Amino acid sequence: MTKTKLETVKSHFQALEKELQRLQQRTSMGYEVKVKWLPGAIKHYNGKQLTEEVKGDTILIYTENPRKAIELVHHGFAEWLLNQHTKPYRQLINKLITLFEEQQYERKEKIVQALTKLMTLRSSADFTVEN
């Protein structure tokens, strides 16, 4: 990458960071959110190519278009804000799933032990008397 192109990419990335900071200040939220610009990176989800996604506290921008990237910072930040609302529900559901899986494992193990015991018991046919 030439120095001029590198400087241009750096300048566009700084504009994305500045826009994110503006959104954080306007909402007084999301100061932990970061933006990463990965122009040209290709990412798919459910058969569709993504231009942006939110992973944890990071907004990942994949488009090469700087104007579109600014719009996607807005979209990503809005998505992050909504995720904060649903986060407690997801945590609760994940805890319930973990508890259910633990209970099912214990039940399965009891059944496996019973079947193992049943298979290792000698049947009355094993004690036939020879004439």
Total domain count for the chain?
1
- pLDDT value of position 103: 95
What pTM was computed for the model?
Answer: 0.70
Query: Cα–Cα distance between 45 and 100 in angstroms, integer?
Result: 28
| Domain-located, residue 127 | no
**By C-alpha distance, which of 46, 43, 115 is closest to 59?**
43
Residue 52 backbone zone (phi > 0: left; psi -120 to 50: alpha; other: beta): beta
Task: Report the pLDDT value the prediction gives residue 131, as an integer from 0 to 100.
Answer: 56
Asked if residue 128 belongs to a domain, the reply is no
pLDDT at 9 (0 to 100): 87
Residue 126 lies in a domain: no
In the predicted model, what is the mean pLDDT of the chain?
91
Q: Which domain holds residue 27?
A: 3-120
Query: 66-120, pLDDT tens digit by residue?
Result: 999 999 999 999 999 999 999 899 899 999 999 999 999 999 999 999 999 888 8
Identify whether 75 is part of a domain: yes
